[in-house]
Structure 1
């Protein structure tokens, strides 16, 4: 059997980006105050950046202290899972857990996709 003839696909052409003179329909002035060149906004964005850095540091410290603690995961489909928290990978969006207790049995270790997790918590011991 031969391969079917490929169906031609239309090409979507996007508008060209701004050139160095900014004459291609893009404004020099940003509507977003975060991107403005105003010195006051640069101070605000520096404060915002330091606040975000502090929050990220607190979050990472929480994750490092949670290693090995019992955790409860509630999935979007209504299933409640219990496991020992291992780690969280923000880039791939996954939680690594150990001793995952599922309705079908216990898994030694597993990855839970963060998109499947509605919420997770650490029950008081």
Structure 2
């Protein structure tokens, strides 16, 4: 009977919360998502329900667009009038970064790269 080789355990970094729950209660994202940050009078009414419905539709359209862009050539327009073509791969869950392949920069072609979404003004692709 032979023993299997040991498998390394990857430990995630400790969160900023002293209880190590992985989120910072003073972060803008936590404050925005916290249900106690919404006054009870503002969270009711037909106007809020309509706004939530519209936001939901827009979010769904955006996510479907990201799915349609996968493995397609995309033209990214960035600051300083820089235009870079690449093959779109994926986005992280918060839509903060785009993973692209074959990114053609003014300095050369990068096989794989991450684009910081705040540097991207717009992007376009063929349907």
**What range describes the TM-score normalised by the shorter chain of this pair?**
0.5 to 0.7
After the TM superposition, list the runs of 4 or more consecutive aligned residues in structure 1 that deviate by more than 3 angstroms: none
Count of residues paired in the alignment: 90
Report the CA distance between 1:38 and its aligned residue: 7.4
- Is residue 47 of structure 1 aligned with residue 50 of structure 2? yes
1:58 match: secondary structure: helix
Q: Which residue of 2 aligns with 1:62?
A: 65
Structural RMSD (CA): 2.4
1:107 match: secondary structure: strand
Q: Which residue of 1 aligns with 2:76?
A: 73
Q: Structure 1: which 5+ residue stretches go unaligned?
A: 1-33
* CA distance in 2: counterparts of 1:38 and 1:56, whole angstroms: 22
Which has a greater percent of helix? 2
**Rg larger for:** 1
Query: Paired residue for 1:99, among 99, 102, 105?
Result: 102
Residues 1:102 and 1:38: Cα distance change in structure 2 (over 3 Å): closer
Q: Structure 2: which 5+ residue stretches go unaligned?
A: 1-37
Q: TM-score, normalized by length of structure 2?
A: 0.61
Q: TM-score, normalized by length of structure 1?
A: 0.62
Report the CA distance between 1:89 and its aligned residue: 2.7
1:37 match: secondary structure: coil
